[in-house]
Amino acid sequence: MSNIANTEINDQVIRPNYDRTALKSRIVHLGFGAFHRAHQALFTSEMLDKNGSDWGICEINLFGGEDLIKQLREQDHLYTVAEKGADATTVKMVGSVTESLHPVLDGQRAVLEKMAEEQVAIVSMTITEKGYCADPATGRLDKNNGLIKADLANPSEPNSAIGYIVEALRIRRELNIKPFTVMSCDNVQENGHVARAAVLDFAMLVDKDLAGWIETNVTFPCTMVDRIVPAATAETLAEITTLVGVEDPCGIACEPFRQWVIEDNFVNGRPEWNIVGAEFVTDVVPFEVMKLRMLNGSHSFLAYLGYLGGYAHISDTMTNESYRKAAFDMMMKAQAPTLNMPEGTDLEGYANLLINRFTNPSLKHQTWQIAMDGSQKIPQRMGGSLRFHLDAGSDYKWLAMGIAGWMTYISGSDEKANPIDVRDPMVDLFKEIYQQHGINTSVVKALLGIEAIFGTDLIKNEELVTAITDAYQLIITDGARAAVASL
């Protein structure tokens, strides 16, 4: 079978220029998903081209994705990334991956042994918000999470990423091996702090001495990652086959833009990602909040109201002037005023850059994909900004409309009464609320009362309840497009 490990690929594919046999698995990465393939693994591959270091990556999928791991192995752990601009596409082959594991294919023990190997200096993660098994309301470990309950009952045979990390650190401590840095690369506010809280809470429940050792010896740097990477579709993979010259089932397409801001806090060494554009800083938080509110917040706004308005992709919503203007105003009027950025940060320039990225027609970024897991995303993308405006007495109508759009979307039915495939950890609760209220404004208070999403304060603010109720009613009666145009 021809694959990208062979030589017969197209000449325009940019190939790795380093000796892959010299690489060691110094990074273990949990979550070999689309984003990681187009971001951290690519940064690492480009860095290796420049400095010839030995920082290789062992890829691990803990849940699902067995076929992807098998395919990756079949092509010698090589795959391609197509960076699709509005006018041109660049195809790069990634060579930084040295090996791969999966508990279903190789067993839990093999995964733990790999994480405990002495040369492993970093365990990084793209496991999505829900992978941290944290309670969104408190930011602490959710002890009632099914995976966590099972892992606490049998810590030496973990299932969750948190369980694997704690058990691997326990083994390293027992063998007197230096710990690894735990580096979250997920779109989670203060992701390093979230990872640290979950790991320490879990360790405390397993072994207090181990928890103390982790607290003293392990670092959890925060990171801010940014690149629009749509999930691979049959269409994307067919296009990659044409661009590469052979099939690459692990290939991925993304936008040309990328950003990576990393807190420089590593306990056991780190790669020089900065030589290929990453930034090491002392405090990631301002950059992270800027991205979560301006990019991700407006993305969610466009995802819910765009899907309801009949738009399949983010770039489709940008063809509607009302959506385009509402997204820009959401960034500049609802989100930018809430930020506390270093002097000289050009927020309007950033907003214009985001609008251009959203408009890129080469990227088929589905509104449905971005709409997933809203219960985990809304607190970070809109909650903090809402509280800022309520305290300041300033205008937050774009946020109210975004939340009303989400509330309408999770009803499970669009404007033409077509079913919506709502994917969310709290989907059963949403169904229950909608069965009780139907498509009715009374649903607004019921949903605002979900403490894990909205805390206990927002439902008490009558002005906010009214604003979201009015926006919800407008979407129901006039449709999402008219509701967005009203802004």
Mean pLDDT value across residues 461-473 = 98
Q: Is the pLDDT of residue 1 over 80?
A: no
- Residues 292-302 have a mean pLDDT of 96
Task: Identify the pLDDT of residue 2.
Answer: 65
pLDDT band at 316 (very low <50, low <70, confident <90, very high): very high
Question: In the predicted model, what is the mean pLDDT of residues 442-459?
Answer: 96
Cβ-based burial of 435 (10 A; exposed 0-12, middle 13-18, buried ≥19): exposed
Give yes or no for a contact between 252 and 38, defined as CB atoms under 8 angstroms apart: yes
Listed residue (277, 272, 227) closest to 252, CA to CA: 227
Sheet holding 55-60, edge to edge: 97-101, 55-60, 24-30, 122-125, 181-184
The stretch 315-329 carries a mean pLDDT of: 98
> If pLDDT is split at 50, 70 and 90, which confidence band does 388 have?
very high
Q: Which domains does the chain have, with CATH numbers?
A: 20-281 (3.40.50.720), 285-485 (1.10.1040.10)
Contacts of 130 (CB under 8 A, 6+ apart): 373, 376, 425
* Token pair in block for residue 80: 């391609």
Give 8 or 469, the one with higher predicted confidence. 469
Average pLDDT estimate for 289-295: 94
Give the pLDDT band of residue 370 (cuts 50, 70, 90): very high
